[in-house]
Amino acid sequence: MAHGPLPNPYRRETLVQQLTDVPAWDLIVIGGGATGLGVALDGLSRGYRTLLLEQADFAQGTSSRSTKLVHGGVRYLAQGDIGLVREALHERGLLLQNASHLCHNQAFIIPNYNRWGGPFYTLGLKLYDLLAGRLSLGASTHLSRAETLRQLPGLRPAGLRGGVRYHDGQFDDARLAVNLAQTCIDHGGTALNYFPVRALLKDARGRVAGVRARDQETGRDYELRARTVVNATGVFVDAVRQFDEPGARPLVQPSQGVHLVLDQSFMPGAAALMIPSTDDGRVLFAVPWQGRLVLGTTDTPVPNATLEPHAQEAEIDFLLRTAARYLTRPPTRADVRSIFVGLRPLAAGEAGTSTKEVSRRHKIVASASGLVTITGGKWTTYRRMGQDTLDRAIALGQLPGSPSQTAHLPIHGAGGTPTEMTARPGHLAAYGSDQPALGQLIADVPALGEKLDAQFEFLQAEVVWAARHELARTVEDVLARRVRLLFLDAAAARRAAPTVAALLARELGFDSAWQARQVTALAEVARGYQLGG
C-alpha cells in the first residue's frame, strides 16, 4: 500500500494548530534564546506538556551574538568564582558531547610579554584543567617564544617571551538555538517564533495562569493556559515582569558586547588569541570562526534593551586599537567585514560595580503571583539554567516532581557521523545527522547545489532546508541565524538577499511584493553590521 510523504512536524501551520488542540499546558516558556530553549527542553525531558513562544526569531537577540565560546570562564577564575567556573566547565563537557556536530575543541594561547606572566597564567590554567576533571578538553602547556609564534602567525614578535596554551570549546550559537527548538519539537513540544506575548492571564486568586499571545504573521490573538509560566526573555525580562507587577524594580541592567569580524589573514593559524587583561581590565579574544577572525569583546552599560543594538564609536576604536598592539598587521575600519553587538542581562542595582565585575551567575525569582523569572547566566550553562528553573517551579508546588533528563540528551543533529573533538567541523558538517537528507535534496534538485554567494560555500539548498525544517520565516532568519552570512560578511549577505527571498517565497507561499519587502528589510538590517553602512 502506497503512503504519502510523512508529515513535517516543523511546519508553522502544524505548530500553530497545536495551540487550539491543547486545552492547557503544564509549562509555557516566554523567550526563544538560550535560556528559554534550555527551560523548554528541560520541561519536555521531565514529561511536561510544553509551549515556547518567541517574539522574533529564535536567538535573534543576545543568543546569536556571543563570542562563539563554550567555556568555563578563565576570567571568572581570576575573580575567584571557583564554583561558577566548575559548573561551567562541567556544562561545557556535556554540551560538546550532546551537540558534537556544532561544538568542538578550540586551542587558545595567552602570549606573554613580561617576566611574570608565563608562570602566573600557567599556574592558573592548571587549576582550570583540574576543575574540568574528566571532561577536560586537554591539558594546558607552556610554549616557547618560537612555538607561540608558530601557532599564532600574525602575532607581534617584539618583546614576546612565550605563551600558555589551554583548551576551551567553540560553537555556532544561533544554529545551536535552532537545533534546540527542533529538539523541543522532536520531543513533542511546541516552539513558535514571531509569537510575542502581550499579557499574562491570572486566575480569580491573582495567580499567573497563562499568557495572551499574538501570531505576528496572521494577527490572531490566543489565550493560552498553563500551570507554570517562565519568563526567560534575557535582557527583556523586566518588560514581561511589568505585565505581572507594574512598577516592579528592574532585575537587569543591559551591557553590550561588540565583535568585529575580520579576514582570517590577520591571524591565519588554527589557534585563538586570548589577552586576559587589556588597558581597562577587559578580556580580548581573537578567534578563528568559519573562515573569519572574530575580535571581541567590549562590556559597555546601555540604558535600554533593543533587538538591534549598535556599537559605539569608542568600542570600535578600543577593539581596533587593542588588536593593533598584538597583531603584526594592525586592522583598520576598512578591514571589518561585519560587526555584531549583543546585550548581556547583568544584575541591576549593584552600584559602583563595573559591568565586567558583575557575576555571570544566573538568578531565579518567583513573584507573589507565581511568575518564575530566570536571568543572567551564559550560553555554556543554558542547560543547567533550565534544570534549576524547573527545580524551583517544582519546589514552589507549580509542577509535579520529576527529574531532569537533559544532561545526556542528544540535541537535534547529533548522533550522525561524530566530528572528532579535535577537528574543526566543515561547512555542511554543522547539519550533523541531517546532512544526508540535505544531500538528497540537492541530488533531487541539482540547481539547489548552487552557491548563495561566489565567495562563500553556503548553498541554495540550505535556504529550502531552513524553510522546511528549521523554522525560518524571513530572509534575515536565513542569512543571520541559519547560514550566518550576515555575521561573516554583511556586504555578501546583501548580495545574496534577492536569491534567498525568491527561494523562501516559493517555499512559504509568499508573493513578489513580499520578496521586495524582505530584500529591503535585510539591506536595512545589514547596514547596522557594516562600518559606514
Alpha-carbon gap, residue 55 to 222, rounded angstroms: 14
Q: What angle do CA 454, 460, 463 make, to 5 degrees?
A: 130
Confidence band of 420 (pLDDT split at 50, 70, 90): very low
pLDDT digits (tens, 9 = 90+) for 427-437: 899 999 999 99
- DSSP letter (8 states) at residue 307: S
CB 42 within 8 A of CB 389: yes
Per residue in 470-513, pLDDT (tens digit) is 999 999 999 999 999 999 999 999 999 999 999 999 999 999 99
All structural domains of the chain? 31-68+172-251+348-421 (3.50.50.60), 103-170+253-345 (3.30.9.10), 426-527 (1.10.8)
Kindly compute the dihedral angle of the four CA atoms of residues 102, 103, 104, 108, in this order, to the nearest 10 degrees. Answer: 130
Contacts of 236 (CB under 8 A, 6+ apart): 31, 55, 61, 305
Q: How many CA atoms lie within 13 A of 25 on its CB side?
A: 30
Segments of 172-271 assigned E as strands = 190-192, 197-202, 208-214, 221-231, 252-263
Q: What's residue 30's pLDDT?
A: 98
Whole-angstrom Cα distance, residue 518 to residue 475? Answer: 6
337 has pLDDT over 90: yes
Q: Is the pLDDT of residue 416 over 70?
A: no
Look over the chain and give the mean of its residue pLDDT values, rounded to a whole number: 92
